[in-house]
Structure 1
């Protein structure tokens, strides 16, 4: 599919937004967040990871009462209001601090193992009115299919006993991630019934993203020079700002919205070219984008999705990850910040990190590897 007039108009809008955002950020504060019609008692399992703090801050701004439950291993942010913290460890079954309590809503952020849902339900069933579970599009059995809806088949677990799986085993075999998430979804529905909401995000990006996956692109483009862009620039990519995801979860709780939703964005087709030009609109500088075909990248043994993160060729086994159907989530109120806003805020956060952390590259291609591939591409025999 070629670049359409709509794509070009969006690139122009991104450029304008990117140019304006830095000065606007200093000139005015973010718009005030209105109070919810009804305050809720919200329990957040996790709360100090990536999206949890966005949920907490938004819930407080909306006037809700917030409790977080975690191991206390991460330092809690400085909350703009009162937040109750309960300590425990779901991996060892220590849920005592949740006993004898009631909440209107429970948002489950970190669960990857079905026994975590089962054990939480043993304490919370009948004590929370609405259970919201963050899952993943990795649950789908066939990641190559474009347009996957929430009714698409999910991955099957083929191990001996899913309830006996451990975090250590999962980390050693990430092929289990999708199937175990799918079983965790099923356990949530089993335990909490029709008052369950399943949210399936794809790549979560923006400030606080420690994976460096999407961060690779604005960071690399900010370094200037010749940048390798995979394919012809038209392969679709999907991302969601962690703030958009976290805040929408709170609104789903407020609205009492149940069901399963693909939380991917944006609300238009974002091609690779639009993504890199959108990043460049924010970073500026002398940048030259060079498209390198998929076949040549394959010859160079490039690891798709790793060395060139958040992107897969449209024909790849995970090519559907950039083409997931999000219409149901949008109809349920999911909204998206402009790409320029996400990139601007992400870079501001990233540049606030210690120098040694910024020097660490957790995803993406190092400069020497990129330069070698670009040289091989330019030096290839012609004709």
Structure 2
């Protein structure tokens, strides 16, 4: 099959490109050419920025069996690509996010749960509070344009090699240093991610099999105590949420930690039953951790919680009566 990827050089897109190639398909990518490109030479590079006038000129007169939109954040850009490709791609797969849900305290969060109100289509900036509403707007554009030929994928936090967000990689990197390790909560809260390679394989599957609809993508749901075991942490020091707040340590410093009872706790309880029934396969958590560490030890990532700051926090905790 001939596949067009909007994006494709970084993290999730890179995994998707590699998965299509591994399945024997021909891949073209449309990118702005501003980020490092380590893809194989047999990937066709097309240059363009759909957010600008003439930014889709490289697609003129071409058709593909499917388009996978990895880089759709602003509704105006997604509108441009969806309308330009209508009638020229057999399926439009939009990579959305689990952050579209309006009630993220539900346990579990399912595809038919209420969504956030869509952001205005003329929004020009992606911010934290607008991220979910913007993706809702983009989803609606794709569904309205392609109907049954639209597939919406809503991944949980994505993990694995090539993850320059430095969220998941913090944990296998920290575990590799050994010693007393600051861990959030008491071990009973939960953490859940989706390996980028699992997301990529499922993307190939929905294209090959012509599967439409909306799918949450999430991996195994582990307690933090189980996650610590997966990581191989030998000396955990558990710090409850109240202490963490007092120490001004949050999601940025201790990524992936959302207490089960928090207003967003359902985001660590995403149901992937529909995708699993459709053929989603999951990588073992131990493999995700191992492979992420093998990549990240050479990736020169930086983290909000330095080793020095962690040592200070641990010392202050030990000093408490």
Give 1:272's match in structure 2, choosing from 224, 235, 255.
Answer: 224
CA deviations over 1:306-365 (Å, ceiling 9, x no partner): 111011111112211111111111111111111221122111111223xxx34x22x4x2
* CA contact 2:12–2:196 (8 Å) conserved in 1: yes
Once the two structures are TM-superposed, the CA of residue 276 in structure 1 deviates from its matched residue by 1.6
CA deviations over 1:286-314 (Å, ceiling 9, x no partner): x31011122222222322x2111011111
Distance (Å, rounded) in 2 between the aligned partners of 1:239 and 1:142: 19
CA deviations over 1:6-41 (Å, ceiling 9, x no partner): xxxxxxxxxxxxxxxxxxxxxxxxxxxxxxxxxx11
1:33 aligned residue: none
Aligned residues: 320
2:240 aligned residue: 293
Distance (Å, rounded) in 1 between the aligned partners of 2:248 and 2:45: 47
SS at match of 2:92: strand
Matches within 5 A, 1:1-383: 40-79=1-40, 82-93=42-53, 94-157=55-118, 162-166=120-124, 169-170=125-126, 173-266=127-220, 269-280=221-232, 287-303=234-250, 305-353=251-299, 357-358=300-301, 360-361=302-303, 363=304, 365-381=305-321
* CA contact 1:237–1:321 (8 Å) conserved in 2: no
TM-score, normalised with respect to structure 1:
0.80
Distance (Å, rounded) in 1 between the aligned partners of 2:160 and 2:115: 28
* CA contact 1:157–1:176 (8 Å) conserved in 2: no
Once the two structures are TM-superposed, the CA of residue 192 in structure 1 deviates from its matched residue by 0.8
TM-score, normalised with respect to structure 2:
0.95
List gaps (5 residues or longer) in structure 2.
Answer: none
1:32 aligned residue: none
Distance (Å, rounded) in 2 between the aligned partners of 1:87 and 1:76: 13
CA deviations over 1:218-268 (Å, ceiling 9, x no partner): 1111111111111111211111111111121011110111110111112xx
Distance (Å, rounded) in 2 between the aligned partners of 1:236 and 1:314: 7
Once the two structures are TM-superposed, the CA of residue 140 in structure 1 deviates from its matched residue by 0.7
* Range moving further from structure 2, 206-215 or 142-151: 142-151
SS at match of 2:46: strand
* CA contact 2:29–2:46 (8 Å) conserved in 1: yes
Once the two structures are TM-superposed, the CA of residue 111 in structure 1 deviates from its matched residue by 0.5
Once the two structures are TM-superposed, the CA of residue 78 in structure 1 deviates from its matched residue by 4.2
Distance (Å, rounded) in 2 between the aligned partners of 1:157 and 1:199: 17
SS at match of 2:258: coil
Distance (Å, rounded) in 1 between the aligned partners of 2:191 and 2:290: 19
CA deviations over 1:43-86 (Å, ceiling 9, x no partner): 1111111122222222122121211111122233241x622121
Once the two structures are TM-superposed, the CA of residue 163 in structure 1 deviates from its matched residue by 2.3
* CA contact 2:183–2:237 (8 Å) conserved in 1: yes
SS at match of 2:65: strand
Question: How well do the aligned residues superpose, as a CA RMSD in angstroms?
Answer: 1.6
List gaps (5 residues or longer) in structure 1.
Answer: 1-39, 282-286
